[in-house]
Amino acid sequence: MSVTLAVDAMGGDHGLVVTVPASTELLAELPDLHIRLVGNADLINQALAKVSPAIKERITVVHASEVVEMDDPIEVALRRKKDSSMRITAEQVKEGLAQAAISAGNTGALMAISRYVLKTLDGIDRPAIAAMMPNQLGRGTIVLDLGANADCEAVHLLQFAQMADVMARAVDGIANPSIGLLNIGEEVIKGNQVVKEAAELLRNSSLNFYGNVEGNDIFKGTTDIVVCDGFVGNVALKTSEGLAYMISGFIKQEFGRSWLTKLMALVAMPVLMRFKRRVDHRNYNGAALLGLRGLVMKSHGSADKKAFMTALRRAYEGAKNNMVGKVAEAFVVTQIAQATDGQHTGTQS
């Protein structure tokens, strides 16, 4: 089965300069891939000028006259710019012309537009943002929610776990993904009310629930999935980005201090490069908006070609493995089980 991805060619800090080369390079790599490039058709065609006909054959350019800017309020993106490349990209999925949509644009706008265009799956109250964070095991830990839901109830955390469970199986090929609930450890009060209730729900579910985990377990890789509310997840993500940035800045400063230290850097270069590859955040780019009637992948706004290709590849895997269909199915099963449980309780009382 071939896969068609819809790509918001205008989104992100770099737009076409990144999205077009990333798309054509992935097309060269994956022969069953088609891409619909959405945006200003003239500019896209210019950017495609030097691309070989064999690749171009599997590209469709879809015109969109507007662009959602990184700082556009959600209202503007959703209500005013009805012909934005972001919106037309989501509509490709809605209309069955593509199996997944990818954008490096403004997260808030992308979530709002995707929700409006695609709607949520039956049984899901809140879509969530899920991404991979690197871990010591050299794999990644799936963490969600990363910012879509600042206030969550326990049942939302359960649903996040259910969706991530399907994603881990479908996109990352993990057989029976383990799930950790992000909590605070040895400190005075172990967790807030919502987390305590969520733990109870997770224990009673059919998921492979490991129990509570702490912030450092994300990087230890204690569980395949870590579930938390969007406020906590966003803080964990941004804090990690900030620390990684500080550390890499320190390394650069120290090696750049004098001609002697620069010489040392030259000597140590093979090791430094290997190290850099291991912590390269570009290998983890691509956050899935889970819970929608269609697959939407958000790339980091500042993504370069390599990073954007990672997001495209994740979308391709999700589409190829029918991730959304499986999430929908999981929730139908859950709802039937709940309904049956309800009847059961009914007869008992």
Residues numbered 215-234 forming contacts with a copy of itself, rule: CB under 8 A: 215-220, 228, 230-232, 234
CB of 269 to a copy of itself, least distance (A): 8
Residue 73 touches a copy of itself, criterion: CB under 8 A: no
CA 248, 272, 246 angle in degrees (round to 5)?
5
Q: Minimum distance from CB of 271 to a copy of itself (Å)?
A: 5
CB-based burial label for 97 (10 Å; 0-12, 13-18, 19+): middle
For residue 180 the two structure tokens come to: 């950790």
Q: Quote the CA–CA distance of 216 and 236 in Å, as a whole number.
A: 10
Q: Which of 184, 211, 322, 334 binds a copy of itself (CB under 8 A)?
A: 184
Please give the C-alpha separations between residue 233 and each of 26, 94, 150, 193, 298, in angstroms, as whole numbers. 30, 29, 9, 17, 16
Report the residue from 52, 176, 239, 338 that binds a copy of itself according to the rule CB under 8 A. 239
CA 207 to chain centre: 21
Q: Which residue has the tokens 């991805």?
A: 5
Nearer to a copy of itself, 176 or 242 (CB): 242
Tell me the DSSP string of 95-124.
TTS-SEEEE-S-HHHHHHHHHHHH-BPTT-
154 binds a copy of itself (CB under 8 A): no
* Residue list 81-120, contact with a copy of itself (CB under 8 A): 106-108, 111-112
Task: Using CB under 8 A, pick the residue from 28, 76, 97, 235 that binds a copy of itself.
Answer: 235
Task: Return the number of the residue (148 or 167) whose C-beta is nearest a copy of itself.
Answer: 148
Task: Give min distance, CB of 173 to a copy of itself, in A.
Answer: 23
Residue 188 Cα to chain centre, angstroms: 33
Q: Does 214 bind a copy of itself (CB under 8 A)?
A: yes
Nearer to a copy of itself, 193 or 345 (CB): 193
Least gap, CB of 74 to a copy of itself (angstroms): 7
Selection from 200, 194, 201, 164 nearest residue 179 by Cα: 164
C-alpha closest to that of 228 among 155, 166, 157: 157
Binding residues for a copy of itself restricted to 303-322, rule: CB under 8 A: none
Q: How far is the CB of 28 from a copy of itself (least distance, A)?
A: 31
Does 268 sit near a copy of itself (CB under 8 A)?
A: yes
Measured from the Cβ of residue 274, the count of other Cβ atoms closer than 10 Å reads 9
Segment contacting a copy of itself (CB under 8 A): 27-35, 128-136, 198-206, 303-311?
A: 128-136
**Is 200 a residue that touches a copy of itself (CB under 8 A)?**
no
With contacts defined by CB under 8 A, name the span among 4-12, 183-191, 305-313, 337-345 that binds a copy of itself. 183-191
Contact status: 237 vs a copy of itself (CB under 8 A)? yes
Helices 193-203 & 154-170 angle (0-180, nearest 10): 50
Query: Nearest approach, Cβ of 146 to a copy of itself (angstroms)?
Result: 7
Residue bearing tokens 């029976």: 176
| Choice between 252 and 344, CB closer to a copy of itself | 252
The count of chain residues that interact with a copy of itself, using the rule CB under 8 A, is 71
Of the residues 186, 342, 345, 349, which one makes contact with a copy of itself according to CB under 8 A: 186
Selected binder of a copy of itself within 31, 53, 96, 270 (CB under 8 A): 270
Would you say 179 and 157 are in contact if contact means Cβ atoms under 8 Å apart? no
Sheet holding 140-144, edge to edge: 59-63, 33-39, 3-8, 100-103, 295-298, 287-290, 128-134, 140-144, 225-227, 178-182, 208-213
Shortest distance, position 245 Cβ to a copy of itself, whole Å: 7
Q: Is 188 in the site for a copy of itself (CB under 8 A)?
A: yes
Pick from 25, 60, 251, 283: which binds a copy of itself (CB under 8 A)?
251
> Whole-angstrom Cα distance, residue 198 to residue 207?
13
